[in-house]
Amino acid sequence: MRPRAGSKALIREINEALVLDVVRAHRPVARARIATETGLSPATVTGITARLLGAGLLTETDAVRNTGGRPARLLDLGTDAVVAAGVRLSDTEAYVVLVDLRGEVVASHQEPLTSTRPQDVGEGIARAVGLAAASRPSSTLIGVGVAVSGVVDQQSGVVRHSGSMGWEDVALQRRLTALLETPVVLDSYVNSVASGLLLFDGRLAGRDLMIFSVGASLGASVVVRGRVHRGFSGTAGGFAHSSVGRGTGRPCHCGAEDCLETWASHWGIRRELERRGETAGSLVGRDDDVLASAADCLGTAVANAAKMFGPERVVLAFTPEMNVPALTARTEQVFRRQYAHGTTPPPALEIAATGPSGHASGAAYTVLAQLFTAGTSEAETTGARSTTLTVG
């Protein structure tokens, strides 16, 4: 068979990604272990690590002495050569973070938005990323990840629906790529949270999970064997717009009625309080039928979704405005009650807190992840290629 054009470069890129991924998972790590984990020959590992050291993607730590042998230099991920930007987009601001190769936030910037028109939003994001990147002039910006509340088709770079932004089928990736002149990856809030957990929490590697985000909107991320499952047109995890069947006619921003979003999101709760003539302020300290109904709907919906998928773990991530004991505690109780008479044990349930920084960092991690998984179809379709292509 005739090799396709660029196959040698592709093989080198994949091997470099394999080496980087082993260092990420076991840092700091000896070259011998990299050879064992990857199956590459010691000579190949030596050549690859030399290139990565020269590019600043790896760094050497202090020598450690092996038993009966000469001291070995351990390898770690570099912190200065490259950074990735992550943007958490809301209807009022673009919150930007820069993260280094180890996932540490090294800079941040908040940029108010003048409107939610795609043109204004694109210009605001470009301005915010530029200001953040200016604080790290010695680092190469390898890409920008953007987290948006709603349904996001990552492959096509289109925001299919975002109630908070008032968007339908907005080709945001194409607009931002032209403005920023760097690769851009779009994702939903919840998939960004999932990306961060998968990249930097080794306990979740290869696992089946469901991660739910509870905030201004609702979202779900389905993780199959350690990879986010996106479904057809990026619609997997369309949790917010499932019907709760209560028949009260609460209108949703999607055009339907009685979506879970209208009952259990911050947006839905605020709308219900306004309908009752109440001031829709902070939910902290509330413990009433509005939150009880929200918890009942949320806990039941999460359990129903989990029963269909059968994950080993469910993570419920609440944003600060929704991290209210009356809501979180009752949601957990309702979830567990749904399994009281089941034939299988419930998945492990974890209640977590998330927020703008977590969403922005997770968006940056979607860019970083492609350094460790070069050659995958997802990396190729989003256009965010790893910088290992230019090494050596």
Residue 129 pLDDT class (50, 70, 90 cuts):
very high
pLDDT of residue 61: 86
| 282-287-288 Cα angle (round to 5) | 105
Of 244 and 314, more confident: 314
Q: Are residues 216 and 311 in the same domain?
A: yes
pLDDT at 3: 41
**Cα dihedral 13→381→167→161 (10° resolution):** -110
pTM reported for the whole predicted model: 0.85
Same domain, 336 and 218: yes
* 391 pLDDT more than 50: no
Residue 163 tokens, joined: 């109630």
| More reliable by pLDDT, 247 or 273 | 273
Q: Is residue 2 part of a domain?
A: no
Do 278 and 295 fall into the same domain? Answer: yes
Residue with tokens 């985000």: 213
- The verdict on residue 262 lying in a domain is yes
Domain-located, residue 1? no
Q: Given this model, what pLDDT does residue 279 score?
A: 81
Same domain, 246 and 132: no
Is residue 362 a part of any domain in this protein? yes
pLDDT digits (tens, 9 = 90+) for 31-52: 999 999 999 999 999 999 999 9
The answer to the question of residue 228 being in a domain is: yes
For residue 28, cis peptide bond before it (omega within 30 degrees of 0): yes
Residues 253 and 335 in one domain: yes
Euclidean distance between CA atoms 268 and 333, whole angstroms: 21
Residue 180 and residue 258 in one domain: no
Instruction: Point out the least confidently predicted range of 102-116, 142-156, 238-252, 290-304.
Output: 238-252
Q: Is the confidence at residue 217, as pLDDT, over 60? A: yes
DSSP β-bridge partners for residue 350 = 315
Asked whether the beta carbons of 153 and 160 are under 8 A apart, the reply is yes
Query: Which residue, of 77, 103, 137, is where some domain finishes?
Result: 77
Number of domains making up the chain: 3
Using CA atoms, how far apart are residues 127 and 144, in angstroms rounded to an integer?
13
Q: What per-residue confidence (pLDDT) applies to 6? A: 55
Mean pLDDT of the region 260-273: 94
Does position 128 have pLDDT exceeding 90, yes or no? yes
Final residue of a structural domain among 30, 56, 77: 77
Helix (H) or strand (E) holding 151: strand 151-153
In this structure, are 190 and 105 located in the same domain? Answer: yes
Where in the sequence is the domain holding 236, given as residue range(s)?
203-355
- The answer to the question of residue 317 being in a domain is yes
Residue 68 lies in a domain: yes
DSSP state at residue 29 = B
Whether the per-residue pLDDT at 101 is higher than 60: the answer is yes
Q: Which residue shows structure tokens 């008032």?
A: 166
276 plus 143 within the same structural domain: no
Same domain, 258 and 312: yes
Q: 101 φ, ψ to 5°?
A: -65, -20
**What is the band of 10 on the pLDDT scale with cuts at 50, 70, 90?**
confident
pLDDT of the residue at 67: 57
Q: Which of 274-283, 301-310, 378-387 has the highest mean pLDDT?
A: 301-310
CA distances from 178 to 82, 171, 355 (A): 21, 12, 28
The residue-averaged pLDDT of 193-204 equals 83
Looking at the structure, tell me whether residues 362 and 307 fall in a common domain: no
Return the CATH number at 51: 1.10.10.10
Q: Is the pLDDT of residue 202 over 70?
A: yes
pLDDT at residue 386, as a whole number: 36
Local confidence band at 326 (pLDDT 50, 70, 90 cut-offs): very high
Complete DSSP assignment for 75-97: EEE-SSSEEEEEEEE-SSEEEEE
Average pLDDT over residues 163-188: 94
* Helical H segments across the chain, by residue range: 7-26, 31-38, 42-55, 118-133, 172-180, 189-200, 260-264, 266-275, 289-309, 325-337, 356-368, 377-382
Answer whether residue 213 is part of any domain: yes
Cα separation of the two ends of the chain: 28
CA 52/CA 22 separation, integer angstroms: 13
- Among 30, 61, 77, the domain-final residue is 77
Examine the domain organization and report whether 219 and 187 are in the same domain. no
Mean of the per-residue pLDDT values for the chain? 88
Is residue 362 located within the same domain as residue 237? no
How confident is the model over 335-377, as pLDDT tens digits? 999 999 878 889 999 999 998 999 999 999 999 988 888 654 4
Residue 381 has pLDDT above 60, yes or no: no
28 close to 75: Cβ distance less than 8 angstroms: yes
- The secondary structure element, H or E, covering residue 318 is strand 313-318
Q: Read off the CATH number of the domain in which 103 is found.
A: 3.30.420.40
Query: What pLDDT does residue 248 have?
Result: 81
Q: What is the pLDDT of residue 388?
A: 32
Average confidence (pLDDT) over 101-111:
95
